[in-house]
A = this chain, B = another copy of it.
Amino acid sequence: MDFIKTTTERFQSAGLKITPQRLAVFKLFDGNKTHPTAEDIFSALTRDYPHISFTTVYNILKSMVQLGSLRELTIDRERIHYDPDTSSHHHAMCTSCGKIIDVMFQLPLPKIPKDLFEQFTVDFCHINFYGTCRSCQQKGK
């Protein structure tokens, strides 16, 4: 399914307007696997919208998260990264350059300790891998 179309429909169903700024953000996220931050989105928008406000960017991101078009990643303590792929998958972050890549796999349920479910109703689970990416390893000789 097309990300822009789906997201547009979600906004309309929620009674939200399709503004040029919103559409521009939808386009920036379409097929985007770089896990951008609010700052990244803001910078990309300043080309076409020199007067764009940080508040606008944060508002749009918040709406997209609420409507299920974006997922917030907790992998980076410094800032929130956003992922337009809301399907169940995980991430690896390079501790040298900060790059985040997708890790497409499913934690097998039987592997999760049973006593967790006795104390807790688990809604979802995020696995964060930390290490060094190839290009940083080569740079570091």
Interface residues of A (CB under 8 A from B): 72, 74-77, 80, 92, 94-95, 101, 103-105, 107-108, 111-113, 116, 119-134, 137
A-B contact pairs, 20 of them (CB 8 A): A74-B74, A74-B75, A74-B76, A92-B120, A94-B120, A101-B120, A103-B112, A105-B112, A105-B113, A119-B134, A120-B132, A120-B133, A121-B132, A122-B129, A122-B131, A123-B130, A125-B129, A125-B130, A126-B130, A127-B127
Please measure, in the bound complex, the distance between the C-alpha atom of A130 and the C-alpha atom of B122, giving whole angstroms. Answer: 6
Decide: A120 and B107 in contact? CB cutoff 8 A: no
Tell me the number of copies of this protein: 2
Decide: B111 and A105 in contact? CB cutoff 8 A: yes
Q: Which residues of B contact A103 (CB under 8 A)?
A: 112-113, 116
Q: Which residues of B contact A107 (CB under 8 A)?
A: 107, 111, 127
Q: Which residues of B contact A122 (CB under 8 A)?
A: 92, 129-131
Q: How far is the CB of A52 from chain B (nearest CB, A)?
A: 24
Q: Which residues of B contact A112 (CB under 8 A)?
A: 103, 105, 129
Decide: B120 and A134 in contact? CB cutoff 8 A: yes
Q: Which residues of B contact A125 (CB under 8 A)?
A: 127-130
Decide: A129 and B120 in contact? CB cutoff 8 A: yes
> Among the listed B119, B128, B132, B134, which residue makes an inter-chain contact with A133, where contact means beta carbons less than 8 Å apart?
B119
